[in-house]
Amino acid sequence: MYGPALHLAVELDGDGAHPAAWRRAAHAPDRLLTPRRTAEVAAVAENAGFTLITLDDGVLPPGTAADPVGRIGAVERAAFVAASTSTIGIAPVVPLTYAEPFHVSSQLASLDHISAGRAGWVVTEEERAEAARAWGRPVVADADGRARESRDGVDVVRDLWDSWEDDAVIRSVATSRYLDRDRLHYIDFTGDTYAVKGPAIVPRPPQGQLVVLGSPDRVPADRLDVALVGGRDLAAVRTAAAGAGTPRVLAEVEVALDTPEATGAERVADLERYARWTDRGRLRHIGSAEQLVALLDELSSHVDGVRLHPLVLDEDLGVLSRLVLPALSARRLVARPLPGTSLRSTLGLERPANRFAAAAAVAQEDAR
């Protein structure tokens, strides 16, 4: 684990991790898809001291016919949140199974500029055939094919972020030149299913490379900065974390906390009358804030952080803010992100050198 801090991320999509979470939400259903709701929840997480928020997404609507469905795109929500926050990291989920990596690269680079270097990216897959029809693309039905699309897509996006050197924008009034075109580069990527030449249409992100998060089971570890690992018990989480092979590791933990009105178990039972809480192979805590603090304390010996998935945001996020994060802070297990600090810096990750600039420097040195 890097340093003394346990980095806490929280998933803020919808009304919570349970498919029927909206039934216990503290707002009318029509407020879910509003900018104010997005900003309010993000503000609670930032004020509580979370390191990172993630925003789930996919081309298909979430939920089932019995529940409210629909969401605003994660990148659009992330851009809105970036403008209304100042310290917390923001990582939208962007699947690569059918999306164009060139456009993904541009969107995420723009997000990093908007947030002044606080952006990340959660790489996932589109598994349902309906997603292919929505994109107008052939179905990628097998797991190997989806993994290939994720692998190639991450390579393209990372290469495009480097296709502008850091000093490519010169803004020279004297010469009427905005760009130094010698510092823009073709990436010349050729994969199994497509080719991309580049360069990007957005300058290199402030972080150089955004923080890339994902499951090492689906994206090669050498393409990730942060592994998101599951496991239904502590032993499974420890094993997954030990074998992740990434610079940082976050454990996935679903939480249903005791509140003044009901215990976590009672709240789960109430929602289970309407839908089942899907088992995604994650560690699940149902109980008190004190027990969660003890669990996170134990996890801190094995992972660099945790991504929490609250049962119902309007109920659990308040308990996390009032009881869990202050208790972890008192134990010196967590630290708030500092103003003006990039997400990479907060996580203890170095800003990577531009590969084209580095290659040119090596060539110049060899020529001497």
**What are the pLDDT digits (tens) for 67-94?**
666 789 999 999 999 999 999 999 999 9
| Three-state secondary-structure class, residue 211 | strand
pLDDT score of 68: 60
Is the pLDDT reported for residue 2 higher than 50? no
pLDDT score of 66: 64
Which of 102-111, 122-131, 150-159, 341-350 has the weakest average pLDDT? Answer: 122-131
Place of tokens 């980095």: 7
Average pLDDT over residues 190-213: 95
pLDDT score of 365: 67
Distance CA 168, CA 200 (A): 12
List, in order, residues 6 or more apart from 141 with CB less than 8 Å away: 129
C-beta separation of 213 from 150 below 8 A: no
Query: If pLDDT is split at 50, 70 and 90, which confidence band does 173 have?
Result: confident
Average pLDDT over residues 139-158: 93
Distance CA 243, CA 251 (A): 13
Distance CA 126, CA 242 (A): 27
pLDDT score of 264: 98
pLDDT score of 367: 66
Average pLDDT over residues 99-104: 95
Is the pLDDT reported for residue 326 higher than 90? yes
Which of 6-20, 23-37, 277-291, 306-320 has the weakest average pLDDT? Answer: 23-37
Average pLDDT over residues 316-320: 97
More confident residue, 42 or 359: 42
Average pLDDT over residues 241-249: 97
pTM of the model as a whole: 0.94
Could you please report the per-residue DSSP string of 75-110?
HHHHHHHHHH-SSSEEEEEEE-SSS-HHHHHHHHHH
> What percent of the chain is predicted at pLDDT more than 70?
95
Which of 128-142, 209-223, 248-262, 292-306 has the weakest average pLDDT? Answer: 128-142
pLDDT score of 178: 87
pLDDT score of 155: 96
pLDDT score of 65: 59
Is the pLDDT reported for residue 116 higher than 80? yes
What single letter denotes the amino acid at residue 64?
A: T
What single letter denotes the amino acid at residue 161?
A: W
pLDDT score of 1: 42
* Alpha helices for 74-217 (secondary structure H): 74-84, 101-114, 129-135, 143-162
More confident residue, 32 or 105: 105
